[in-house]
Amino acid sequence: MFPWLQEEFGDLTKKQQLVITVLEIIRIEEYLPAHSGLPGRPISDRVAIARAFVAKAIDDMPTTRILLDRLSSDIVLRRLCGWEKRNEIPSEATFSRAFAEFS
């Protein structure tokens, strides 16, 4: 379905293909407010966090801690969500605040 992704990541699992398909269909970034130029501490990338929450639901991960562990160990999932490196993944507290904003 997305040959350039397969070229970049190699063979994708069915779950990874499903995450890609769902993210392409729902385009969650279009529903998030832009927070650019606000004073104070910058807000972490809410689009990547929202994408991670979608992946969490698709993969039926019961807790955010499990999601964070997966993001740390699964390079493909991490990059699909929007983070290149492990140290870019926000803390569990940041995920919690973002979830509160989303709901």
10-65: per-residue pLDDT in tens?
788 899 889 999 999 999 988 887 665 555 555 668 899 999 999 999 999 999 99
Domain residue ranges in the chain: 7-32+42-102
In tens, the pLDDT along 77-97 reads 999 999 999 999 999 999 999
Find out whether 28 and 50 touch, Cβ atoms under 8 Å. yes
Helix (H) or strand (E) holding 96, with range, is helix 92-102
- Reported pTM: 0.84
